[in-house]
Amino acid sequence: MNKIFFILALFLSANMFAQQPLPPDKIYGQLFTDVQMAKIFPDGKTFVDCVPKRDPKTIVADYVKIKNDPAIRFSLKLFVDENFITPSAKRAIVNDGNEKDVTQHIKKLWSVLKRDADKKVDGSSLLPLPNSYVVPGGRFREIYYWDSYFTMLGLKESGETQIMENMLDNFAYLINTYGHIPNGNRSYYLSRSQPPFFSMMVDLLATVKGDEVYKKYLPALQKEYNYWMDKTANTKHAVKMPDGSTLNRYYDRDDIPRQESYKEDVDVANQSNFQNAVSGETWMKNGNNFSAKQKAMFRNLRSGAESGWDFSSRWFADEKNIATIQTTNLIPVDLNCLLYNMEKVMAKAYSLTKDLSNAALYNSKANARKNAILKYCFNSSQQFFCDYNIASKKQNNIITAAGLFPLFVNIADKKQATAVAEVFKNNLLKPGGVATTNNKTGQQWDAPNGWAPLQWVAVKGLMNYGENELAKKAAERWVAVNEKVYAATGKMMEKYNVEDITKEAGGGEYPGQDGFGWTNGVYLAMKKMLSQQSIISTKPD
């Protein structure tokens, strides 16, 4: 009987995936490939966010006809301009020098970053959401999964409770509609998710609206958990460890170049040492002719994007070159800490609904995951939490800010936490706050960059274990660099240079963005925390 139910679940899941909206590469075929490979737009995300001015099938038919007619002098850029509405980023408010207070500036920014409920547009990659929401800003014109938790920290401080609930309702809608929360509400993001912060969003809203929140979102929590545990689809996120325990990894369902970074992914494959590299154009004309190694690379690139750390030496076999990316070989310590939190929240929710059997079940699952994380991810030689490599059956040795997550969710023992704090102080604490890693690779999730979510995780994690003085330094330095850049530019940035606070952050596939949802959220929450904690002064050292 259980086997029948499992087969039925897989059938229903496959049917759900079959009915999902087509991404732009499937809609536009050769036109998509030609536009992306020719870099008609400097940012590969622009075209996949374009809205067609007429029926996509007619556009494609006309494109093929015109392109293949030698009598027509053809301009690809002109064809795109004539047939598509190019998205324009709704610019964030930039301080003109009159607004000295960052907090007041951010409260004004919320209205700029807010989007009303969406309307369906034929041919658009946007997955319409039924309620209002807040976007990160700049090129990020849609809701993003893990960004939203950190944005909500600030929305709470600004008293924006209703839009917090609207965003949770949107995420529940995505889970119910597509079986999971995608990377963002775009059709080209449906093959993957992002770090699962939904349970933490539920926790956060419950601090405002009470325990009924857990009951309301329990069905969505259960469905998301089933997604990550491969219960509703063979997503291959769950991994059986050598001792029989189960931990999770990032794993994108597709093995093709990311639609929003198509040329970048093809270039990585073609510039590597793989054999039989072909251009994206040949692939689209003749079928998928990428080699098995290249497909594996594309899946690892996409899975790196699912992690939110796109990209970092954390995922590279040699810790230097993106061509050695091996995301799917790694058991990420942060992902498993987030799933531990999900299991604890589900246990609490089931307890509140008087379902004591399921409450006990998920407490048991959480305890088992905790023990597995401590066993497989605590690196005794580094005295730090690291990712575990299922191929080599060893922990990675790279020190990253992800190693603070066991402190953030309170699963480290006191001895481990003390050791982690010492390693953190000597390796990751910089003049501008918490570094992502110490490796300089040109990737944006490496040195010298610092990111708002990792600041919050580090500071809260350290405070959970009484490392308040260290938490104080990290928080003060991050707030100070936010304020310094704001005073100089009038902007709240996506990321910051924490090693040399006189310079801008860099790296990655696109220029630095401003706005910026999660920076705003962490700044407001951290500023309040600094002002309320007696042990924490508000003066940077």
pLDDT digits (tens, 9 = 90+) for 447-505: 999 999 999 999 999 999 999 999 999 999 999 999 999 999 999 999 999 999 999 99
Distance (Å) of CA 396 to CA 319, 370, 378: 10, 19, 10
Cβ neighbors of 42 (< 8 A, separation 6 or more) are none
Looking at residue 216, its pLDDT comes to 98
Query: Over the stretch 281-338, which tens digit does the pLDDT of each residue have?
Result: 444 433 457 888 899 999 999 999 999 999 999 999 999 999 999 999 999 999 999 9
Please give the mean pLDDT across all residues of the chain. 92
Q: Taking a C-beta distance cutoff of 8 angstroms, is the pair 248, 230 a contact?
A: no
Residue ranges per structural domain of the chain: 251-306, 428-541
Please say if the pLDDT value at position 91 is more than 80. Answer: no
Please say if the pLDDT value at position 5 is more than 80. Answer: no
Which has the closest alpha carbon to 394: 415, 372, 378, 370?
378
The two beta strands, 495-497 and 449-451, are antiparallel
Query: Over the stretch 252-283, which tens digit does the pLDDT of each residue have?
Result: 999 999 999 999 999 998 876 543 434 444 44
Distance CA 92, CA 74 (A): 37
Please say if the pLDDT value at position 534 is more than 60. Answer: no
Looking at residue 1, its pLDDT comes to 45
The number of helices, as runs of H, and strands, as runs of E, in the chain is: 21, 15
Q: What is the pTM of this model?
A: 0.93
Query: Over the stretch 184-235, which tens digit does the pLDDT of each residue have?
Result: 999 999 999 999 999 999 999 999 999 999 999 999 999 999 999 999 888 9
Give catalytic residues, as residue numbers: 310, 494
Question: DSSP 3-state assignment of 20?
Answer: coil
Q: Taking a C-beta distance cutoff of 8 angstroms, is the pair 85, 50 a contact?
A: yes
Query: Over the stretch 120-170, which tens digit does the pLDDT of each residue have?
Result: 998 999 999 999 999 999 999 999 999 999 999 999 999 999 999 999 999
Looking at residue 234, its pLDDT comes to 83
Distance (Å) of CA 76 to CA 32, 217, 282: 11, 47, 18
Q: Taking a C-beta distance cutoff of 8 angstroms, is the pair 40, 80 a contact?
A: yes
Looking at residue 97, its pLDDT comes to 64
Q: Angle CA(178)–CA(167)–CA(341) in degrees, nearest 5?
A: 80
Which has the closest alpha carbon to 396: 461, 323, 315, 450?
315
Q: Taking a C-beta distance cutoff of 8 angstroms, is the pair 520, 151 a contact?
A: yes
